[in-house]
Chains A and B, each alone.
Chain A
Amino acid sequence: MLLKTSRSWHFLSKSVHLEQAARLKAVQAGLKAFERVGSFIKPTTRFIQIFGSHATKAVMEIDKPQLMKLLREERILLDDDWGQGYVILAVAGYGVIGLGLLVGGQVRSQVRARELSGLDW
């Protein structure tokens, strides 16, 4: 089921026990799936990592050199016209790592840079 807060939506497994959970003072519930960013509703990195593999479109597969370039320069210039909006970023050998944002013929990573840049890829 989807729980809504003022700026985000959370996935919580449907269960007959949710009534019990509703009586508790919760600090967090389930997995944050979407959040409002300006006028957009953006899927979260963790949501995309789980469900992105089921997507049939807007999936951009990049190789390791492209990933390194993305981490270094925070963007990759694209040869093809992908349009604008969010894409699912998948890295060969690792699968879906998160989201990218297509703007003006380039893709920018939407995963926090500090999360990715320090990793031993």
Chain B
Amino acid sequence: MDVLMAFVFDEYMDFIPDYRLFREAVNRPPPVHVRVNRLKARPEVVIASMGSRGIKVVPVSERFPSFLILENVSHPGNLPEYHLGHIHPQALSSCLAALILAPSPGSRALDMCAAPGGKTAFISELMQNTGLVVANELVPARQSPLGHTLTRLGVMNAVVTGYQAQEFPMRNRFDFILADVPCSGEGGFRGGKQPKKPVSKRGRVNLPELQKRILMRGFDMLAERGVMVYSTCTYNPDENEAVVQHLLEQRNAELLPFQTGFKQESGLLSWKTECYDSRLTVAARFYPHRVDSVGFFMARICRRN
């Protein structure tokens, strides 16, 4: 294992269960996961089509026939099914964020940091292309691939905007909000993929501070009975539990329990010298040795009645 990476993750060995297995999983590349896009295709048809060409397709679970592992494909973007918008390469744990959000058809949804668009498109799919999805992405260079992803996948209920997530216009209200915030991305460090900056600061950007501002703004735009999901692909509690803790201290927010059907660990109650609200146990951590995918943290949030 890379010395730098070992150092980063060893800092978490006290709370990552079966740490040796975790390190082994980090050293392996993740499987090639794709999601069948039900806006344009049916899983059984896609599986049959790819299977007829010798592609080994394994559904991740019986409960989710749209989530597939392609065992002998390294670049799913080269498959015709990708061009046709029938599949989207997307880590399994990444798909779970939209599932946990569970947006209902006809509602108003906001994806605050939407690029590259896989989660947004899945939100649209769950809403059956009805209602309104606002896909927000600040960085112009990321708006174009976001737009292409949504178009390729046949999304027709989305509007792309380019606001700073933490300053999204307050006059708007949404029934479902996904805040999949910029993070240090540690969960994606697998199979030799090197961290660019394995710390919680990117240049002059203090990630936890930015994450707190985005989460707070998202919560303030939540409709009365709305649901919000805060997610990161990092293990760092400063970017996860500490950010949600900040929300719980500053707003009348509540955390909602959820089960995904995949192995998940509870949110932490303490780390180093920090102690977190006991409600954070209903947040979830996804580790690569438990769910063979990218590491993630997710919290499901609503207004407290």
**A13 vs B147: C-alpha distance when bound (angstroms):** 16
Best-surrounded residue of A50, A97, A116 (most CB of chain B within 10 A): A50
Q: In the complex, what residues of A have CB within 8 A of residue B163's CB?
A: 25
CB A23 to nearest CB in B, in angstroms, measures 7
Q: Is B151 close to A, CB under 8 A?
A: yes
A25 touches B158 (CB 8 A): no
Q: Is B166 close to A, CB under 8 A?
A: no
CB A72 to nearest CB in B, in angstroms, measures 16
CB B292 to nearest CB in A, in angstroms, measures 24
Q: In the complex, what residues of A have CB within 8 A of residue B132's CB?
A: 13, 15, 17-18, 20-21
Question: Which size bracket describes the interface of A in this complex?
Answer: 20 to 34
Tell which of B52, B80, B130 touches A13, judged by Cβ atoms closer than 8 Å: B130
Q: In the complex, what residues of B have CB within 8 A of residue A115's CB?
A: 83
Interface readout for B134-172 with A: 1 if CB under 8 Å, 0 if not?
100000000100010011101111111111000001011
Q: Is B106 close to A, CB under 8 A?
A: yes
Which of A29-37, A55-63, A74-82, A102-110 touches B? A29-37
Q: In the complex, what residues of A have CB within 8 A of residue B82's CB?
A: 119
Q: In the complex, what residues of B have CB within 8 A of residue A31's CB?
A: 150-151, 154-156
CB A5 to nearest CB in B, in angstroms, measures 14
Q: In the complex, what residues of A have CB within 8 A of residue B154's CB?
A: 31, 46, 49-50
Q: Is B108 close to A, CB under 8 A?
A: yes
**A18 vs B156: C-alpha distance when bound (angstroms):** 12
Residue of B nearest to A18 (CB): B132
A120 touches B171 (CB 8 A): no
Best-surrounded residue of A17, A21, A29, A93 (most CB of chain B within 10 A): A17
CB B116 to nearest CB in A, in angstroms, measures 14
**A94 vs B45: C-alpha distance when bound (angstroms):** 10
Interface readout for A39-73 with B: 1 if CB under 8 Å, 0 if not?
00000001001100000000000000000000000
Q: In the complex, what residues of B have CB within 8 A of residue A95's CB?
A: 84
**A121 vs B83: C-alpha distance when bound (angstroms):** 11
B106 touches A23 (CB 8 A): no
Known contacts A46-B151, A118-B78: A29-B160 contact under CB 8 Å? yes
Tell which of B83, B131, B161 touches A119, judged by Cβ atoms closer than 8 Å: B83
Q: Is A11 close to B, CB under 8 A?
A: yes
CB A49 to nearest CB in B, in angstroms, measures 6
**A83 vs B158: C-alpha distance when bound (angstroms):** 38
Tell which of A18, A23, A93 touches B49, judged by Cβ atoms closer than 8 Å: A93
A28 touches B80 (CB 8 A): no
Best-surrounded residue of A12, A31, A32, A94 (most CB of chain B within 10 A): A31
Known contacts A15-B130, A17-B132: A26-B159 contact under CB 8 Å? yes
Interface readout for B90-132 with A: 1 if CB under 8 Å, 0 if not?
0000000000000000101000000000000000000001111
B131 touches A23 (CB 8 A): no
A12 touches B157 (CB 8 A): yes
Known contacts A24-B134, A94-B80: A46-B162 contact under CB 8 Å? no
B78 touches A120 (CB 8 A): yes
**A11 vs B162: C-alpha distance when bound (angstroms):** 20
By a beta-carbon cutoff of 8 Å, the part of chain B in contact with chain A is 40, 49, 52-53, 78-80, 82-85, 106, 108, 129-132, 134, 143, 147, 150-152, 154-163, 169, 171-173
**11 A-B pairs, CB-CB below 8 angstroms?**
A13-B132, A15-B130, A17-B131, A20-B132, A21-B132, A23-B169, A23-B172, A26-B159, A26-B160, A97-B83, A121-B80
Given A46-B85, A120-B79, output 14 extra A-B contacts at Cβ < 8 Å: A13-B157, A15-B130, A20-B132, A24-B159, A27-B160, A28-B143, A29-B158, A30-B157, A31-B155, A31-B156, A93-B52, A97-B83, A119-B83, A120-B78
> 3 nearest interchain CB pairs?
A13-B157, A17-B132, A28-B160
By a beta-carbon cutoff of 8 Å, the part of chain A in contact with chain B is 11-13, 15-18, 20-21, 23-32, 46, 49-50, 93-95, 97, 115-116, 118-121
